[in-house]
Every structure is written in C-alpha cells, then in structure tokens.
Chain A
C-alpha cells in the first residue's frame, strides 16, 4: 500500500511536473491582513512562461487564473408564498462551496478552449464541481439552486468570472488583478494558473494566499468565539460604563 502510494506520487509529480516547466507566478501580497480599516484588497498576480512547451516569444498562448477561497457549508434558501406572506421554504446545503471563486482569463473563456476541456478541469462557473447534501448523501444539486448560489455570491462580489482580464505584457510575462471584497471569508486561498495553447492545457501551477484577521480585529473575533460568556460580560460592562459616562457628561450641560 505504502509502495503503491509512493509510485502514484512519483507518477503524479512526473505527469504534473513536466508540462509545468518554466511557468512561474507570484502575488504582490501573499498574506492579506484584515484590520479595522479593511475595505477589501486588490492584489496583482504576475506570471511568466519561460522555456517550456510554449515558446513565449513566438507562440500565442492563453492564460486562465482561478482563485478559490476556503470551502464552507453554504445554505441556499428559496422563498415561497405561504398564505399571504413569502417564507423561506426549500433549502439546499452545499457542504463545500468555496467562499470566494474568481476566474480571470486573457480572452473570453469560450475562445480559449472547448467546454469539454474546461469541464474536465472544473474551471468556470458552469463547471466548478459542486455537490449538495441530501438525506441520501451527496448528490448533484438542483440547477435552480446552483445558479442561485452563483448569482447571489456574484452580487456580493465573492464570485467573479471574466471581470478581471489577464494582460499579456510580452516576452511571456503576464499579469492580472485579483479583487477581494470587504466581506471576503478568512482562510487559505488557492491561486491556480493554467496556460492554454490551441485549446489544450500546456502548463499549470498553484500558489497559496492567506487571508486572516489581524491585531485588534482578530483579538475581538477570537475572544467572542473562544470565550463567548466572558465576551458578553465585557460587552455589558462596556455598555454600562459608556452609558454611565454619557449620563454624567450629558447631565453637566
């Protein structure tokens, strides 16, 4: 068993490693800190294709960059008319929906490769593999709920596709902007870069990005979740002191 796993790993490294020669990417900032003044973040991803299956100087190539945020239980609810009022009735839980999902490309996705290619790599809104939790285990989600998830998360700026484009700078160098909104979830993000040529993937690579609360914001969040009773007590004491101060100051006028 151990041996088999090792062989698989070696094969995998050879298989994945080989076409990835020469593709390097980096971010302007690999660690986003959420502090009191946080109002979203703009990152720049730089990448370069060196000597590889793609000749950067002479060949035209396409770049698709996929950023995925931490996965979390996400519930989609549908309202229905019950008597005279609209009530949440049906719901569907996606146990591993990414909290952030952005696809940037150098051209419209349809021009880069066929649907089948994107589907096999799970790239894009239409192909991102998502399962729903049902009483009978995980299953393919109802398409209404699936599209609602994409629509709602897009409206919050958490899911984005073809809104940021990859710019070719020349000599195999390219860059793109990654926009994280203020409501971005905290956790580890994966930034995957795919190089396409002639409708097939020639190289891919993955780097990590971390988003975390820092300083006072982190302390407050950790305190509230780690010691909720004491946090509540402190909140009450702060309120009592503030109220008393307000009374004293207001009374003097």
Chain B
C-alpha cells in the first residue's frame, strides 16, 4: 500500500517503512543501541533525500529514547545534574551542527559530509569495540582476569587540571564541568549532521573519560539524547523544513515491535559476543559508506535537491 510522504515528497510502501523500522528496532533492541546509525543510511539508501533522512531520524530517536530513559529513571539510573550539563553542551553542538548542515546542503556537499562522518566515527568506534570484545572473548577463553583499577586512578592528570570543577553526587564524581560540556557538544554536532543519538560516542566517553559508574551511564545518555535530538529536530525544521512526522511515526511503530523481540533474543547472548556482533555491524555500515565514496559512480551527475541553490 503506497503512502505519500508530504515532506519527503515521494511515495513509499507503508509496509516497507514499518518493516524497516522493525528490522532496525530488532537490532537496536538486541544490542541495546539507538539504531540511528543504521536507520539514517538505510533511509538514504531507500531514496529518501539525505536531509530528510537525518532530520526525520532525529525525530524518531527522540521517541525511541523516551521509553528507555523512563525505564532507567524508575531504577534511579539517571544522573540529572550530569544530564543537564551534557544537554547544555549538546544544545550548542546541535545548533552549530545544524548550521553547518544547512550551509553544506546549499553547496551540495551534505551527502559527502554525512558519508565522511559515518566512515570516520563508525570506523573508529566499531574498530575499537571489535578489538575490545575479541580480546575479552580471547581472555575468557584463556581464563585471564583483567586487573581492576582503583576508582581514584580513573582520571588522567590533564582532566584533574581543568577548571570549573563541579560535584555530581549521583555519579560520585568531582570533575570539571568543561568535560561533560565538551562531550555533550561533540555529541550534539554528531546528532545534527549524522541523524544519530550519539550514544555510541557518549557512552564510551562517559565510562572512560568521565569515569561514571556503569549503572547511571545508559540512563543519563538516553536522558541527554531525548533533549538533544528534540532540539535537533526543531533546528532542522526551522532551517530546512525536512522533518517528516509521518515517516518518523511509521518507523517508530515498526521499531517498538522490533525492539521488544530483539531485547528477548539479546538476553540469550553473552555480552562479549553481542559487542563483537554489534562491532561487525557498525564496521559493515562504515565499509559500505566508504566503498561508495571511493568507487567510481556509474552516474557522475546528480540533480540538486529542490530549494538548494
């Protein structure tokens, strides 16, 4: 059954859109990730204009993060103060990201920027994750136990030297506010230009840079993602009018069902195996994007999007 999407200005099969949501929802439920890094490339691949894909996916991530954040909130898994600082940074980053996005769109280089950002971030994060999980699987196989560092040594010297220190009770931290502000800002830029929540960068940064306890990491990151993707949606709507509510809601319908099933399967797999699989998937998207950049396209010409000069 075809459905005309008024903002994307094209017609798509309604069941295809819902199944895309379901497949990505299944994978994100299984791995416990947002899925933006899979959905945005998939939408572009299906012929949705990149600007619409990025802006619409921001809108869907807001919805997808709410239920997760609520669950963590009930379990006291959200550090609100830390979240606020991350949101403040995210707001600034998202604003500038959206400006850059609009500017590059007018130059016809937004596709290039999206591809480069995906190759760079998915490549590095996927590579690190893959290496880490393979090492963990190997160690478990050999029976080697990693040494656990004492909490006091978590921070490097340069982190202690930063000014504007702030106390975060829930995370049991006393660190410079500049650090979460910077992390939030960086994630905000990624949210605006890649159509992702940014959890794949934020969660490792919270663990390894900030040294937050793992029980508040995911909840706080989801808490930040809700607000930053909401702002990103508004920025994109104001700048380029590319948010398609209908597409977002349809994707969400599929994602909700898919995520429930994915989460059940995910419980049956081991943590290291899950991370290795996730890393492979991230690398696969990265390689696909990278290959498309390097291989000579069959059609060298393209028609510019309406409204861009």
Binding site for B on A (CB under 8 A): 34-40, 72-81, 84-88, 91, 93, 144-145, 148-149, 151-153, 156, 182-183, 185, 213, 216-218, 220-221, 224-225, 228-229, 231-236, 238-240, 242-244, 246-247, 249-251, 253
Interface size class of B (residues with CB under 8 A): 35 or more
Q: Which residues of B contact A35 (CB under 8 A)?
A: 4
Interfacial chain A residues near B295, Cβ < 8 Å: 86
Contacts of B252 in A (CB 8 A): 239, 242-243, 246
Q: Are A79 and B303 in contact (CB under 8 A)?
A: no
Chain B, range 253-309, C-beta contacts under 8 Å to A:
256, 259-260, 293-297, 299-304, 306, 308-309
Partner of B299, one of A37, A149, A152: A152
User: Dominant SS at the B interface?
Assistant: helix
CB pair B233–A243 under 8 Å, yes or no, is: no
Chain A residues with Cβ below 8 Å from B237 are 224, 228-229, 231-232, 235
The one of A79, A233, A249 in contact with B300, judged by C-beta atoms closer than 8 angstroms, is A79
CB distance from B56 to the nearest CB of A (A): 9
Q: Decide: B108 and A75 in contact? CB cutoff 8 A.
A: yes
Which residues from B are CB-within-8-Å of A93? 304, 309
With A182-B10, A228-B238, A247-B70 known as contacts, the answer to whether A149 contacts B233 (CB < 8 A) is no
Q: Which 9 A-B pairs have the closest CB atoms?
A: A75-B304, A243-B66, A247-B67, A232-B237, A148-B301, A232-B234, A243-B63, A182-B11, A239-B63
A81 to B296, CA, bound (A): 8
Contact status A79-B256, CB under 8 Å: no
B residues near A, CB below 8 A?
Answer: 1-4, 6-7, 9-11, 59-60, 62-68, 70-71, 108-109, 111-112, 226, 230, 233-239, 241, 243, 245-246, 248-249, 252, 256, 259-260, 293-297, 299-304, 306, 308-309
Contact partner of B6 among A75, A149, A213, A240, CB < 8 A? A213
CB nearest neighbor in B for A251: B71
Since A232-B233, A250-B259 are in contact, a sample of 18 more A-B pairs with Cβ atoms closer than 8 Å, ordered by chain A residue number, is: A36-B4, A39-B2, A39-B11, A73-B309, A79-B302, A86-B293, A152-B303, A182-B4, A182-B10, A182-B11, A183-B10, A213-B6, A224-B241, A235-B59, A235-B248, A239-B233, A240-B226, A247-B71
